[in-house]
Amino acid sequence: MAILTGEIYGKQTANKLVMYNVLKVSKSSITLQNIDNPLSLFETTEQKLAASGYVRISQTPYVDLNSTTQKRKKTMRKPTRCPHTIDFLEERADSQRPAPILLDLFS
């Protein structure tokens, strides 16, 4: 499984889906950032990510256009394309939060 910077991974908890943006990928670790809480960062490995039940939600980056904090603006990387561009495959713009994929594991 190849993990790339800018992808969005999610994990289903008891009551909601938590989404994480991949900030940095190195040979030994992956840095993830919580989309809802930009100050929440953690590092993991590719094997631990897969074993913990994280699934790739989107390969298109999520750019928060409503961010008001100075720290968020400094850490946010410049998008490679206009955040208003709609991806015809995913039917959402880069600035729109991905739709959660709810897996029915008990069917």
Q: Quickly tell me which residue has 């908890």 as its tokens.
A: 13
Residue 9 sits at the vertex; the CA angle it makes with 54 and 19, to the nearest 5 degrees, is 100
pLDDT in tens, 44-94: 999 998 898 888 888 877 777 676 666 555 555 655 667 667 776 677 777
pLDDT at 32: 93
Contacts of residue 62, Cβ cutoff 8 Å, sequence gap at least 6: 8, 19, 21, 35, 94, 95, 96, 97, 98
Domain residue extents for the chain = 8-93
Alpha-carbon distance of 30 to 58, in angstroms, equals 16
Q: Whole-prediction pTM value? A: 0.63
Tell me how long the chain is.
107
